[in-house]
Each structure stands twice: as C-alpha cells, then as structure tokens.
C-alpha cells in the first residue's frame, strides 16, 4: 500500500506596508549599524499600524491562497499566535468568519510562543492523514514587540503566514517522523498585563541551540537519516543570526561540498526574514518561503525544519519538495508586497509603536484611510473589535 502524501499545498504571506531601516534605528540608538546588519542579521523591520492585528494580517495572508471551492472543504482552522486579541475567544473564529468559511469547521487558537504554527501544522497533517478529503488552514501570525530602547528592539517585526494542508500537496510532503522536546524554561515570556515580551536574550539563544541539538540528534536516531540526506535546513529565525548559529552547529557533520550547498540554501532562506524581522510563529514559515523563492532546489529534495518556541518547546521535522512546488505560492506578488512598502522614520515608528488599542476598553475609531490592505481593523465599539473587508467598507 503506498503511503498517502500529506503536507503544505499552498502558502500566503502578508506584512503591512511600513518598515523601519535598521541603519536608522542603529544610529538613533547610538549603535554601530554593522551590529544590526551583521551581528544580528537584520536589514529592515516591519512596522505594524494600529489598523492591523493578527486577525487582519492572517486574513490578508489567507485570502491570497483560498479558492471559492476550498471554503467548504476546510474542516479546521488552527491559528498559532502569541499575540492573541482576547483571553477567551479564538482568533481563528474571527478569521473563519472574515474568510466566509463554512460553519462545519473547527476554529482553534494554539499558543506556545513561536512554536504555535508548527503545532498547528503537525496536528493538521495528522488530521488529513485520517481525513484525506479535508483541508486544514494553518496560520502563524504575530506582532513581535520587545519595547523601545531595549536590546530586543532590533529583533521586532510582524506579519502572517497562511498554509493550506492537504493530501497530495503541491509544495512539500511532510515526513511522518519528527522529534520534539519540551522543558519549563524562563527565557522569554509575556505576563497577561504586558504588551511587550520579557526576555533573557542570550540565555534564550543558548536554549534554542541546545534544543536544536537535542531534537536533531533524536530525529537522526529515529529515522536513520544523517545530514547527507538534506538539501537544506530551515530554522526559526527570531533574527537571522540565530539560524546561522544553529547551522554552524551541525555543518561539520557534512562533506566540504555539501557544507557549501547547505550554506547557500541558508542564505536563500534568510533573505526575506532579513527584510521583515521577527514574525514569532510565522518566522520558520517565512524562512521556508524565502528558501523556496530564492534557493536552488529540485523536486525530491528533503528539507529539515527546526521550530522553536521559548518557554520552551523545540521540534525538528522534515519534508520533501514536490514537482511544481513553485506553483504553491505567488512569487511575484510577494516580491511586489515587499518592494512596495514605505520606509518610516524612527520618530514615526515610535509614534506607531504607542498607538495600539489602549487597554481601557473605551470605544476607538481608527484612521483607516492609509491602510490599503483588503482586511483591516476599524476600531473598537462596546468592547468588540471592528473588523472590516475593503469591499464592504
Ligand atoms: N559589527 C558586527 N557585529 C557586531 C558589532 C559590530 N559593530 N557589535 C556587536 N556585534 C555582534 C556581537 O558580536 C554579537 O554576535 P554573536 O552573537 O555572534 O556573538 C551580536 O552582534 C549581538 O551582540 P550583543 O552584544 O549580544 O547584542 P545585545 O546585547 O544587544 O543583544 C540579543 C542581542 C539577540 C540577545 C537581543 O537583541 C535580544 O534579546 N533579542 C531577542 C532575543 C529573542 O528573539 N529571543 C527569542 C529567541 S527564540
């Protein structure tokens, strides 16, 4: 009996139309720009206007990949985020409504720091293995906020990745085996009263590298595969230097020629992340998209993926590229989305940073004219967020 292939069929990505140049931020903070560009590995950082939150960003990503006939086949919406907008109601329920999905779907939010979308992807794959006709919509959407003038400020960003998981996927079939690891670690967290994360950045870097080593070793023991079986390794990229450190940890296991290939693949996998910044849950998936867009890959190539969520959970899993994988995403639209953004000054970024919906429950009407995205947040009335679709405005 041939095994059913299950995996990522289509991917959409959205980030708002504003960004901050890391040279400008470095100069404003009295740092050498080379520290940000080379030491941290970031060139631009998405700036999130108050008219976008994780729900609207997810809708703007998902709308790129949904066809009318998918809407009744989607049996689950699994929304990975650590920037949820309600302590009770799932972002996935708002999203299912905005996307006009059929009512016979499950809509759930998943939280474990930056790991949430990977949990969604694996749960989705298991569901589709049991229900091959179904589609599952998996989201990784976040706004990475560390605070003005903190060491983490250079590693902010935001956006959403939407993935459709199906049988006979167009982009990448997931291998059934994976290795995961959980431990109670205080490297990064966000108490309920805070809108910015607390982080012990260097400790977090060490835990990330340790979890990568542990899951990589366990994966090899489980599968009998070695680094020679991989055309590329993709990493969770809270900042691109982090993945570079991960790769360096295992490169000596590869032959000299293969080291060059893996390094070239890594360079491709971090290009888009460099220009968007941290997406938390979406970071590994933007990195995969960047690899598929810019890498020198072939159908049949096996890609290893390391997902990490502080707190902490890590997972190493793998997938095999399918013929026509480039048809599973809109390369030209993504290039345009990133190229058409407007640079903001540090002063404008600082002002926008303070403009989140205030935590006082009062009614707010946002100035929506500057936001051209299909889905946006118009404000809050009677403690309810007012989501809008541009066609309905
Ligand atoms: N030119 C080039 N590189 C430079 C430089 C310069 N002028 N100045 C410093 N650097 C390098 C440092 O050598 C260091 O590189 P290394 O990590 O390879 O040793 C890097 O830039 C960062 O310098 P560091 O002094 O450690 O920066 P920092 O104290 O400002 O903090 C982080 C950096 C990453 C710890 C901080 O941004 C942070 O906490 N970010 C959030 C962490 C996070 O995302 N955690 C979740 C992980 S999943």
Q: At 368, which CATH number?
A: 3.40.47.10
Q: 391: exposed, middle or buried (C-beta count within 10 Å: 0-12, 13-18, 19+)?
A: exposed
d(CA 109, CA 205): 26
- The protein residue with its alpha carbon nearest to ligand 1, atom 14, reads 39
Q: For residue 310, what are the domain limits? A: 6-392
pLDDT classification of 3: cutoffs 50, 70, 90: confident
- Specify if 141 maps to a domain: yes
- Specify if 169 maps to a domain: yes
Length of the chain: 393
Pocket residues for ligand 1 (CB within 6 Å)?
32, 34-35, 38-40, 114, 151-152, 154-155, 188, 199, 201-202, 204, 208, 238-239, 241, 308, 310
- Spatial CA neighbour of 72 closest among 35, 113, 100: 100
Instruction: Give per-residue pLDDT as tens, 242-267.
Output: 999 999 999 999 999 999 999 999 99
Residue whose token pair is 């935001």: 158
CB 134 within 8 A of CB 73: yes
- The protein residue with its alpha carbon nearest to ligand 1, atom 31, reads 151
- Residues contacting 77, CB < 8 A, separation 6+: 92, 95, 96, 101, 105, 106, 107, 108, 136, 137, 139
Is it the case that residue 272 has pLDDT exceeding 70?
yes
- Spatial CA neighbour of 371 closest among 16, 122, 57: 16
Instruction: Give per-residue pLDDT as tens, 288-338.
Output: 999 999 999 999 999 999 999 999 999 999 999 999 999 999 999 999 999
Instruction: Give per-residue pLDDT as tens, 377-390.
Output: 999 999 999 999 99
- Specify if 1 maps to a domain: no
**Mean local confidence (pLDDT), 346-371:** 94
Binding residues for (3S)-3-hydroxy-3-methylglutaryl-CoA: 32, 146, 245, 278
- Specify if 325 maps to a domain: yes
- Which residue out of 21, 109, 153, 236 is catalytically annotated? 236
Q: 232: exposed, middle or buried (C-beta count within 10 Å: 0-12, 13-18, 19+)?
A: buried
- pTM more than 0.75: yes
d(CA 114, CA 111): 8
Please state the φ and ψ torsions of residue 298, each to the nearest 5 degrees. Answer: -130, 155
Atom of ligand 1 nearest to the CA of 32: 7
- The protein residue with its alpha carbon nearest to ligand 1, atom 9, reads 35
CA 123, 94, 161, 276 torsion: positive or negative? negative
| Amino acid 356: pLDDT | 87
- Total number of domains in the chain: 1
**Mean local confidence (pLDDT), 67-87:** 97
Q: Is 114 a catalytic residue?
A: yes
């Amino acid at each position: 009996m041939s095994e059913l292939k299950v995996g990522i069929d289509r991917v959409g990505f959205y980030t708002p139309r504003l960004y901050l140049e890391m040279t400008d931020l470095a100069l404003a903070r009295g740092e050498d720009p080379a520290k940000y560009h080379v030491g941290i590995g970031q060139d631009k950082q998405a700036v999130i206007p108050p008219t976008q939150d994780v729900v609207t960003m997810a809708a703007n990503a998902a709308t790129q990949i949904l066809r009318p006939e998918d809407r009744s086949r989607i049996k689950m919406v699994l929304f990975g985020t650590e920037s949820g907008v309600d302590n009770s109601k799932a972002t996935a329920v708002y999203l299912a409504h905005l996307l006009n999905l059929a009512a016979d779907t499950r809509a759930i939010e998943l939280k474990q720091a930056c790991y949430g979308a990977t949990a969604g992807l694996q749960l989705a794959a298991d569901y589709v293995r049991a229900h091959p006709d179904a589609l599952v919509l998996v989201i990784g959407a976040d706004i990475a906020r560390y605070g003005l003038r903190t060491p983490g400020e250079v590693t902010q960003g935001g956006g959403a990745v939407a993935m459709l998981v199906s049988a006979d996927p167009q982009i990448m079939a997931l291998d059934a085996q994976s290795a995961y690891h959980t431990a109670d670690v205080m490297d990064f967290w966000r108490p309920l009263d805070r809108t910015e994360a607390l982080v012990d950045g260097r400790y977090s870097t060490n835990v990330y590298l340790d979890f990568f080593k542990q899951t990589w070793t366990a994966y090899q023991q489980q599968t009998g595969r070695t680094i020679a079986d991989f055309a590329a390794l993709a990493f969770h990229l809270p900042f691109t230097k982090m993945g570079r450190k991960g790769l360096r940890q295992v490169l000596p296991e590869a032959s000299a020629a293969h080291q060059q290939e893996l390094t070239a693949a890594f360079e491709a996998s971090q290009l888009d992340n460099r220009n968007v910044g941290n997406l938390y849950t979406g970071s590994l998936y933007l990195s995969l998209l960047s690899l598929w867009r810019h890498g020198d890959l072939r159908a049949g190539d096996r890609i290893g993926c390391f997902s990490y969520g502080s707190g902490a959970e890590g997972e190493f899993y793998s997938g095999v590229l399918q013929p026509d994988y480039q048809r599973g995403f809109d390369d030209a639209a993504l290039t345009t989305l990133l190229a058409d953004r407007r640079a903001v000054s540090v002063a404008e970024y600082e002002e926008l940073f303070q403009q989140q919906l205030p935590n006082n429950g009062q009614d707010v009407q946002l100035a929506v004219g500057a936001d051209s995205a299909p889905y946006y947040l118009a404000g809050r009335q009677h403690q309810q967020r007012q989501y809008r679709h541009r066609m309905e405005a």
